[in-house]
Amino acid sequence: MTTLVWFREDLRLEDHPALHASAQSGKVVAVFLVAARQWASHDLGIHHAGFLGSNLTALAHDLGALGIPLEIVSAPRFRDAPQALFALAQTHGANAVAANEEYPLNERVRDSQVANYLRDRGIRFQLHSGSTILGPGQVLTGTGEPYTVFTPFRRRWTSHLDTNAVRPLPAPDSQGPPVVNALDTAALGLTETPISTQWPAGAAAAAQALAAFTHAAIRRYDRDRDIPSITGTSRLSPYLAQGVLSPRQCLHAALDANQGRLSGGEPGIETWISELVWRDFYRHVIALFPHVSRGEAFRPEADRVPWRNDPAELDAWQSGRTGYPLVDAAMRQLANTGWMHNRLRMVTAMFLTKHLLIDWRLGERHFMSHLVDADFPANNGGWQWSASTGTDAAPYFRVFNPITQAERFDPSGDFVRHYVPELAHTSAAATLAPWRHGVTGYPHPIVDHAFARTRALETYRKAR
Ligand SMILES: Cc1cc2nc3c(=O)[nH]c(=O)nc-3n(C[C@H](O)[C@H](O)[C@H](O)COP(=O)(O)OP(=O)(O)OC[C@H]3O[C@@H](n4cnc5c(N)ncnc54)[C@H](O)[C@@H]3O)c2cc1C
């Protein structure tokens, strides 16, 4: 029995249910399909692609050490996947194809087309649950409905795990002498970029980063996680997004550091586990509410907001020239590093949607194309939360004041000074509101906060 194990957003050997099950039942050939045109239509950018290329290189090496060959094939659109997989199955005499589930709509349509096509040709297609801690459908209300609010979801999620512990699966045993899996990332269009190489690739690097975080900083996470000038969060998101690390591995490491406790124990650890629950929650939303994958607001009434079409203001936001230093520093952090601190993702997303009243979908696309950790469920969830259009959305009348946010989370101005060289030599007070301190050479705010807040409240109120 030979199974093709189709790797997608799960570029690892450990805690890979499809690989684990397939290796137990016979020989395995690993497969990765490069869906360049489809990814472009999903707005995935060059840094994501570069990091993918590096992680695939590491995966090729890790698989080779276990004697597992890796086939990398171009299948530009998802609709090309069925034929590509069938051809590979024939080449390798495989009678099954296995993969871990992905939840966005296009991915699910692709998988059902693959299943039908292969079944008609005598090949089984098996899906396993491997990209969440608890899969969609495992956490439902008492009446069997999906949750649309996070806190009760988390309560149910915790009580489920309290009685049904999950353990990450080990890597499969070696299936023979080592093989060399060569790949040419440039030919595949997955060339590293200066930004993507800032993240050491591969499962060993990811495991090291997880161990370092859960050894120390996790204990201060509840206090440090909102301060962008320090490394107070794990920065594991690029590994989780491409599945170099599984969420169960993360949970397991956190539980080890917390005497096995999901709740209680160290506040820092409990808070961090809660972020892993957010990750699961947004995957449940994507799986159980397909309209969200079609670019629609989770709440239909939110699609009545008359978004402004203002290319100049959109450009000022994208390039970090709004005149609000915290917003600008955050947007430049994104441009320079391919990553942005969570607090600032909320601040910048609210600024675009509330201060500028520009459609959240334009911001969502900009983030997708620039983030190394681009992840459709988390990105869509974060944008809809910030724009007050989503499941657990911030109430529409919550409009973060970018100056107050800077006073609370960057009072020394260190973060702003690091990313906004025009303000590198100014006082802490001047980094909050340079126009009040006679700073020259830095833009004046493109919109007044009080005016923008009133305009947003009126517009949202009318739309409802
Ligand atoms: C507008 C907006 C867009 C976002 N886009 C993305 C995205 O494309 N990719 C992405 O991985 N996250 C996204 N997030 C969620 C969050 O900002 C990042 O996961 C986090 O900043 C990553 O840093 P970290 O690894 O240090 O996180 P930590 O604070 O250490 O958290 C650990 C892990 O939990 C998960 N996580 C944390 N917060 C969230 C959250 N709010 N929603 C879902 N998962 C979460 C991530 O996998 C993260 O790596 C977005 C949030 C907002 C508000």
> What is the number of residues in the chain?
464
Radius of gyration from C-alpha coordinates of the chain: 23
Q: How far is the CA of 373 from the centre of ligand 1 (A)?
A: 8
Q: Which residue has the tokens 């869906």?
A: 35
The answer to whether residues 147 and 139 touch, using CB atoms and an 8 Å cutoff, is yes
Does residue 185 lie in a domain region?
A: no
For residue 173, give the DSSP letter.
P
The protein residue whose alpha carbon is closest to atom 46 in ligand 1 is 237
More confident residue, 211 or 165: 211
Once rounded to an integer, what is the mean pLDDT over residues 103-128?
Answer: 98
Evaluate whether residue 118 is within a structural domain: yes
β-strands 27-34, 70-74 pairing: parallel
**Statement: residue 189 has pLDDT above 80:** yes
Kindly name the residue from 6, 272, 339, 360 that is annotated as catalytic.
Answer: 360
Residue 77, phi-psi category: left (phi > 0), alpha (psi -120 to 50), beta (remainder): beta
The pLDDT of residue 213 is 98
The string of pLDDT tens digits covering residues 420-447 is 999 999 999 999 999 999 999 999 999 9
6 band by pLDDT with thresholds 50, 70 and 90: very high
Averaged pLDDT of the chain: 96
pLDDT (0 to 100) of residue 405: 98
Torsion angles phi and psi, residue 386, rounded to 5: -65, -35
Closest residue by Cα to atom 11, ligand 1, is 237
Note whether 344 and 305 are same-domain residues.
Answer: yes
Among 257, 288, 319, the domain boundary falls at 288
Q: Which two tokens stand for residue 350?
A: 């609210």
pLDDT at 192: 95
Instruction: Tell me, yes or no, whether 162 and 57 share the same domain.
Output: no
- For the stretch 282-328, pLDDT in tens is 999 999 999 999 999 999 888 999 999 999 999 999 999 999 999 99
Cα(230)–Cα(203) distance, integer angstroms: 25
Do the domain assignments include residue 293?
Answer: no
Please give the pLDDT value at position 40. 97
Is the domain of 217 the same as that of 271?
A: yes
Query: How many Å lie between the centroid of ligand 1 and the Cα of residue 59?
Result: 24
Do residues 10 and 157 share a domain? no
Are 52 and 1 a contacting pair, CB within 8 Å?
Answer: no
Q: In terms of C-beta density within 10 A (0-12 exposed, 13-18 middle, 19 or more buried), how is residue 2 classed?
A: middle
Q: For residue 368, give the amino acid letter.
A: M
Contact 390, 214 (CB under 8 A): no
The last residue of one of the domains, among 80, 112, 128, is 128
Give the active site residue among 71, 342, 407, 422.
342
For ligand 1, atom 4: residue with the closest CA:
379
User: How many whole angstroms from 102 Cα to the centroid of ligand 1?
Assistant: 18
- The verdict on 317 and 283 lying in the same domain is no
Would you call 275 a catalytic residue per the annotation? yes
How many angstroms separate the CA atoms of 70 and 16, rounded? 15
Catalytic entry in 71, 95, 296, 307 = 307
The Cα–Cα gap between 274 and 91 comes to: 45
Distance (Å) of CA 157 to CA 16, 237, 264, 292, 428: 21, 21, 15, 22, 43
In a domain, 294, yes or no: no
In a domain, 374, yes or no: yes
Task: State which ligand 1 atom lies nearest to the alpha carbon of 282.
Answer: 43
State the total domains in the chain: 3
Residue 97's nearest CA partner among 5, 29, 181 is: 5
| Other CB atoms within 10 Å distance of the CB of residue 256 | 12
CATH (domain of 50): 3.40.50.620
What would the DSSP string read from start to end of 321-352?
A: -SS-HHHHHHHHHHHHHS---HHHHHHHHHII
Q: Are residues 147 and 92 in the same domain?
A: no
Is 360 an active-site residue? yes
What pLDDT is recorded for position 393?
Answer: 66
Q: How far apart are the C-alpha atoms of 217 and 231, rounded to whole Å?
A: 8
pLDDT of 138 higher than 80: yes
- 70 φ, ψ to 5°? -120, 125
How far away, in angstroms, is 376 Cα from ligand 1 center?
A: 11
Question: Region 82-88: what's the mean pLDDT?
Answer: 98
Atom from ligand 1 closest to the CA of residue 371: 8
The rounded distance, in Å, linking the Cα atoms of 298 and 389 is 6
Nearest Cα residue to atom 45 of ligand 1: 279
Average pLDDT over residues 51-67: 98
Q: How far is the CA of 260 from the centre of ligand 1 (A)?
A: 24
Token pair, residue 168, equals 């990450």
Among the options 39, 157, 199, 278, which is catalytic? 278
Question: Left (φ > 0), alpha (ψ -120 to 50) or beta: where does 259 sit?
Answer: left
Q: Does residue 343 lie within any of the structural domains? A: yes
- My answer on whether 84 and 146 are in the same domain is no
Confidence check: pLDDT of 392 > 90? no
d(CA 292, CA 286): 6
Task: Produce one character per residue of 338-376: b if its CB has 16 or more CB atoms within 10 Å, e if not.
Answer: bbbbebbbbbbbbbbbbbbbbbbbbbbbbbbbbbbbbbb
Count the alpha carbons within 13 Å of 45 in the hemisphere toward its beta carbon.
20
State whether 311 and 441 are in the same domain. Answer: yes
pLDDT at 157: 97
Kindly state whether residues 325 and 422 are assigned to the same domain.
yes
Question: Same domain, yes or no, for 121 and 146?
Answer: no
Residues having CB within 6 Å of any atom of ligand 1: 225, 233-237, 240-241, 275-276, 278-279, 282, 342, 345-346, 349, 367, 371, 373-375, 378-379, 381-383, 386
Say which CATH number the domain at 382 has. 1.10.579.10
pLDDT of residue 420: 98
- Say which of 71, 275, 407, 422 is annotated catalytic: 275
Mean pLDDT of 139-160: 96
Q: In a 3-state reduction of DSSP, which class is residue 137?
A: coil
CB atoms within 10 A of CB 41: 12
DSSP string, 241-279: HTTSS-HHHHHHHHHHHTTT-SSSS-HHHHHHHHHHHHH
The CATH number given to whatever domain includes residue 138 is 1.25.40.80
Q: What is the pLDDT of residues 171-183, one digit of tens each?
A: 999 999 999 999 9
CA of 261 to the centre of ligand 1 (A): 22
Which carries the bigger pLDDT value, residue 301 or residue 402? 402
Same domain (yes/no): 240, 308: no
Nearest Cα neighbor of 203 from 168, 231, 233, 232 is 168
User: Residue 464's pLDDT is what?
Assistant: 82
DSSP 246: -
Q: pLDDT over 90 for what percent of the chain? A: 96
84 and 136 inside one domain: no
**Do 247 and 210 contact (CB within 8 A), yes or no?**
no
Among 370, 373, 388, 389, which residue has the most ligand 1 atoms within 8 Å of its CB, making it the best to mutate?
A: 373
Instruction: Judge whether 72 lies within some domain.
Output: yes
Within a domain: 100? yes
Q: Give the atom of ligand 1 at the shortest distance from the alpha carbon of 281.
A: 43
Round to whole Å and give the CA distance between 323 and 452. Answer: 14
Q: What is the residue with the minimal CA distance to atom 36 of ligand 1?
A: 275
Residue 355 CA, ligand 1 centroid: distance in Å: 23
C-alpha span between 460 and 464 (Å, rounded): 6
Contact 34, 368 (CB under 8 A): no
342 lies in which domain range?
300-463
The C-alpha atoms of residue 64 and residue 71 are separated, in whole angstroms, by 11
- pLDDT attached to residue 396: 85
Of the three residues 241, 262, 288, the one that is the final residue of a domain is: 288
Check if 342 is active-site. Answer: yes
